[in-house]
Amino acid sequence: MEDRGSIPRSEVDRDTALTRGLRVLIQVAETGETNAKQLAAELGLPLSTTYRYLKTLRDFDLVEEFDGRYLPSSRLSSWSGHAATRSHLLELGQPFLRRLSARTGRTSVLAVREGRNAVCLRQVAPDEDADIAFRTYEVLPLDRGAGQRVLLAHAPAQIIAEVAATSEEPRERLLAALQQIREDGCAHSRSQLRAGATALAMPVIVRGEVLCSLTLAGHTERFGANTVRTLTPVLAEAADSLRAELEQSC
């Protein structure tokens, strides 16, 4: 075996640079959403070096940057085998949610179903909601939370049966709640998954298929019944707008 000390210094430097760049990429992918200072601290890298690697990763379309926050790109998602519609959701998601949060002053979330779980695909959260916010790519239970229940309500019967069989909520009560969601076209939850959090969610249906759930959430003290009534038509308009964008791009 060749001794590392015999490798030319330039080769060692390139290997070290590649390793560091991969560590930055892996950290962004596993964290879901982070900033340069957090990355530098977690990886023990100088901040200037971290920015340099992030720029390279952006140039190769491996990470995306929104106001100093870095997320895995839709290109990574397509490599992992997700459908083309998932890539479109990733591309559209962040700017769409930013507009929705700016309009409503609430956290906005796009979630998709993966088997018997939900995954937070994209999220934009005001600073005051940071303690109740999901992480990008966080895996969530389908039976708790408005956005997740919307996905469960429209899941295949076998998925519903499997989730109901393991849910902490009594089966008949959960099934009745899912039926109500299908009838109402939306879901509303309070402290189901995050204590002190209220959420309102609707499905985004493209050509008869529920591609994702669109959710508005926030602390319960600023998300009461009147706010739910006010934001319901706003969320319905946003879900229809996202549906129209996806129909054009898919």
* Domain extents in the chain: 4-72, 82-249
pTM of the prediction? 0.69
List pLDDT tens digits, range 211-231.
899 999 999 998 988 999 999
Pick the CATH number of 4-72 from 3.40.50.300, 1.10.10.10, 1.10.3720.10, 3.30.1300.10: 1.10.10.10
List pLDDT tens digits, range 126-168.
988 888 888 888 889 999 999 999 999 999 898 899 899 999 9
Average pLDDT score over the chain: 85
Q: What 8-state DSSP symbol labels residue 226?
A: H
User: Does the pLDDT value for residue 171 go beyond 90?
Assistant: yes
Q: Is residue 193 within 8 Å of residue 167, measured between CB atoms?
A: no
Strands 107-114 and 69-72: unpaired
User: Does the pLDDT value for residue 71 go beyond 80?
Assistant: no
Residue 147 CB neighbours (<10 A): 30
Is CATH 3.30.565.10 the right assignment for the domain spanning 82-249?
no
Beta bridge partners of 23: none
User: What CA–CA distance (Å, rounded) separates 40 from 20?
Assistant: 11
